[in-house]
Chain A
């Protein structure tokens, strides 16, 4: 029963992915746009970063200028996630430790 259910859900998922791959998706397109598979809708965000990143942030590395400047909140979240993960590791492994007198 479980295997049949699994096979059926896999088949449905495969059929859906195949349908999306064959038919051009109009996700994110405006009304009246004609989209072809493999040619997504033209967005001006990437060319904006490439043409203005050096002038606005004065950094040669566009990736760093996006990560630390344009998308700074994302990096703040990443740093907080790392901090919280290290906190969790410390909380879990502090109980296992045998020598308590080294700090």
Chain B
């Protein structure tokens, strides 16, 4: 556990980091970034809280089983989203320009960017983001637990 200053700043910064990471994930088809980058940003939020509060306290708040479940669910939903276009081909973006959810068309050239576009891409971004936040978060938690175990001995 670090000092009170660090803990207070982590308390303030943690939700902002989470919001920023989910913003990057959700706007992956409009702005630079995407699932991998946004998931890494969210995992840095996990690392910030875990380091500033100490592993002994944080392991009751952030369960490793939940993070591994998030990782597995993210990868599975990514593969399932890829399989939904199997009628044409694997990874076929059948939702784009279809008029359904995320199915609006986009004008050619520079435009302000519309969220309800790009078909399967936002869904895949979300799946990969969930997978990356679970994977990198559980790596951070495993490393902190190993450091704690080695320091006790």
Residues of A at the B interface (CB closer than 8 Å) are 54-61, 63-65, 67-69, 72-73, 75-76, 78-80, 82-83, 85-86, 89-90, 93-94, 96-99, 102-103
Most buried by B among A58, A69, A76: A58
Question: What DSSP secondary structure best describes chain A's contact surface?
Answer: helix
Once A54-B108, A76-B79, A89-B139 are accepted as A-B contacts, the answer to whether A59 and B118 lie under 8 Å apart by CB is yes
Q: C-beta contact mask, B80-104 vs A, less than 8 Å → 1, else 0?
A: 0010000000110100110000011
Contact in complex: B71, A86 (CB < 8 Å): yes
Say yes or no for B28: interface residue by CB 8 A criterion.
yes
Residues of B at the A interface (CB closer than 8 Å) are 28-32, 34, 36, 59, 63-65, 68, 71-72, 74-75, 78-79, 82, 90-91, 93, 96-97, 103-109, 111, 113, 117-121, 124-125, 128, 131-132, 135-136, 138-139, 142-143, 145-146, 148-150, 152-153
Contact residues in B for A54 (Cβ distance below 8 Å): 106-109
